[in-house]
Amino acid sequence: MSELIKATKICRDFKQGSNIIHALSDVNISINSKTLTMLAGRSGSGKTTLMNIAGALDRPTSGKIYFDSIDLTDLSESKKDDIRRKNIGFVFQSVALISVLNAYENVEFGLRMAGVNPKYWDDLVRESLKFVGLEKRMKHKPHQLSGGEQQRVAIARAIVSRPKLIFADEPTAELDTKSGLKIVNLFRHLVDEENMTIVMTTHDPSMIELSDDVIKLEDGRVI
């Protein structure tokens, strides 16, 4: 197993008026490729902050973050954009599908963002929707789909360009347990069969059982 993400001595402070919030303090983590890792911890414990730093969407105040041995800390924004577009997919709690586009078009949008050659788009979109079990719903707009189905479209969009790494921030938080487990089982399958690496945040113990690794945060520290 090789290490895909490594963080050393990460601190992330936020200024709020005259206060400083220590969202992350001295965080060291290591995430191996081809694993499903859960970031657990109460609301406000720093999960999203850590995910944003590991996904090169945010910079730490101090400390180092590496993706595939590349030091992200001092890279320019355009280099980080490039690494993100080619290697990393994101899934968010609030789904964020484009409401005027149907499922097929939303997934296709993921390929547009990743800069994939259009001649491959149709095959990749169909394959990805099939993978999440929604090939029969591809003409449906988001409002014609259930919450769980919408989240599966978001996953199809995140995986369509075949990134190495997926970050999913509370992807099951707005779903009932059954739909939530379906999402996590889908992640399990992507890790076991498609060699992806997935990091998701959750505070649901029933989801945590399905992970390879758990990183637990409390008040911005790994415990």
Does residue 21 interact with ligand ADP by CB under 6 A?
yes
Can you tell me the distance from the alpha carbon of 103 to that of 108, in angstroms, rounded to the nearest whole number?
Answer: 9
**29-185-206 Cα angle (round to 5):** 70
Distances (CA, A) of 110 to 16, 45, 115, 116, 161: 35, 30, 9, 9, 7
Kindly tell me which residue out of 1, 2, 16, 143 binds ligand ADP, with binding defined by CB under 6 A.
16
- Interactions with Mg ion, residue window 46-75 (CB under 5 A): 47-48
Does residue 46 interact with ligand ADP by CB under 6 A?
yes
Q: Is-contact 43 203, C-beta < 8 A? A: yes
Does residue 45 interact with ligand ADP by CB under 6 A?
yes
Kindly tell me which residue out of 10, 23, 154, 215 binds ligand ADP, with binding defined by CB under 6 A.
23
Contact region with Mg ion (CB under 5 A), list: 25-33, 44-52, 175-183, 204-212: 44-52
- DSSP codes of every residue in 131-178: HTT-GGGTT--GGGS-HHHHHHHHHHHHHTT--SEEEEESTTTTS-HH
* Residue (149 or 169) nearer to Mg ion, CB: 169
* Residue (42 or 112) nearer to Mg ion, CB: 42
Residue 12 CB neighbour total at 10 angstroms: 22
Does residue 186 interact with ligand ADP by CB under 6 A?
no
Does residue 14 interact with ligand ADP by CB under 6 A?
yes
Shortest CB 207 distance to ligand ADP, Å: 15
Nearest to 62 by CA among 27, 103, 109, 19: 27
Q: How many residues bind ligand ADP (CB under 6 A)?
A: 12
Residues of this chain that interact with ligand ADP (CB under 6 A) are: 14, 16, 21, 23, 41, 43-49
